[in-house]
Amino acid sequence: MQPAMVAEVRSVTRKEIIGNTIAVPAKLALENSDLLGHVLFALKHEGVNLQVLAPVLPKISEPEIRSAFDASPNSQYLRKACFLWEHFTGQVVQRGTAAIKQAYIPLFNPKQYITGRGVKHPRWRVTFNGLGTLDYCVTVRRTDSLETLLGKNLLQKAVEFTDSLPKDILNRTLAWAYLHETKDSYAIENESPNDNKATRFVELLKQAHSPRDLDEDYLVALQNAVISNVFSKAASFRIEQNYLSDGLRGALGVTYVPPTAEFSRALMDDLMALANHPPEDVDPLVLASIIAFGFVFIHPFMDGNGRLSRFLFHQVLCQRGALQNGLVLPVSIVMRQNEADYLSVLQDFSESARRFWDVTFIDVNQFVFEFKGDESIYRYWDGTRCVEFMAKATEQAIEHHLKQETVFLARYDELYRRIDQEFDVSNVDLSRLVMFCLDQNGKISKHRRKQYQYKVPDSVFDALEAAYQGFVK
């Protein structure tokens, strides 16, 4: 897939960063056949892109990479190349140097990428500090936008906010959040859940706070809980190929093809291991985002993947202790309100992956799928935009939805109390009138006044409006 940064020969005298391009002078250009030269150039100037390195490194012979290392045993880029070459080929570089004495070097530069504390590999004195393993690794680049969002400590602020709420307001806010996260998660899939579906999903969200590792049985049980059609309930991870379609007839309508059933099972093992045993010192918001999107990209079930991915976002946050007091973040509201941005993040990966599949239309809902790419596109992907999107969604969920709802509830209680003390109005009628007043920013419409004219005196309407104006000034 297209890397986030690409290097091009430009009319410059030295290396320059121009937008998303690394402009280099012609004197630095390499021969097309010099694969090792290109690998070393990439490691030095472009970062670590395992999606490219995994299929390229095995094309370099052992004598070539051994000779290069023996000639420059102090090169950190050759040490990284040799470390990765041994993993991706399953062979050993027969180097002349018995032991390396230099200090350990991180595979991913912590100044460029979000990284974990890492695992040291003594043979090449390289620390693998990626998000995952060398079999499944997501890269998240330190963009200015992401650094700003993570620097706000959004999850800690959410905990502090809920800690500050009176218990009754907290409980009612949480009830609102669970219900809206449920309804909007279904709405993203163009569904409107009935009361039974909504209740099941609310209970599912509450499970996120219970300590539990991810495994196949658990995810199957969760899938069964969000799917009402008995014929769509899974007994295991899928055993057939699935795909996404925009509704158009034929192969052109196929918009995304996830990995094959067998490969998806292997990827799910890696994804669950990352969720259950994440690298140390990684922000829970980063981890939850890549687990949620990674799950969607793998698509391990024939149905229910989207809803489960949004559950997993909360589940990971809860398991890492980042959400407390029973809190759930109504991020699905934000995702639905910013649907174009959400789809753009998904399509960033799905449209690129689609190019590596030959799809042959046989009959209605019958296709033949042939993968023409390398497994590395599913094993190693750039999660930067995914994390940026979920961090923004988290901020909006807290600032523009949770906090607004607590204000709404506090105003509701105050309005109800004031009018109830002064007038004799039935609880049902007063509750509805207070809601109408709040929904219309302190006004009772002519329609509502007419609707309730024989139930309450006009003075109630005026008192409601006056009370509202009194505490919003």
The model's pLDDT over 330-362, given as tens digits with 9 standing for 90+, comes to 999 999 999 999 999 999 999 999 999 999 999
Strand partners of residue 433: none
pLDDT value at residue 473 = 61
Number of domain units in the chain: 3
pLDDT value at residue 181 = 87
317 with 391, same domain: the answer is yes
CB neighbour class for 378 (10 Å; exposed up to 12, middle 13-18, buried from 19): buried
443 with 377, same domain: the answer is no
Q: Is 413 inside any structural domain?
A: no
pLDDT value at residue 97 = 85
429 with 385, same domain: the answer is no
Range of the domain at 68: 31-129
458 with 365, same domain: the answer is no
65 with 117, same domain: the answer is yes
181 with 257, same domain: the answer is yes
326 with 289, same domain: the answer is yes
153 with 118, same domain: the answer is no
226 Cβ contact partners less than 8 Å away, ≥ 6 residues apart: 197, 200, 201, 204, 304, 307, 308, 311
- Best CA proximity match to 411, nearest among 447, 381, 439: 439
pLDDT value at residue 164 = 83
157 with 292, same domain: the answer is yes
With a cut of 50, list the residues of the chain below it in pLDDT: none
254 with 338, same domain: the answer is yes
pLDDT value at residue 472 = 65
Q: Is 16 inside any structural domain?
A: no
In 282-318, which positions are buried (b, 16+ CB within 10 angstroms) versus exposed (e)? Answer: bbbbbbbbbbbbbbbbbbbbbbbbbbbbbbbbbbbbb
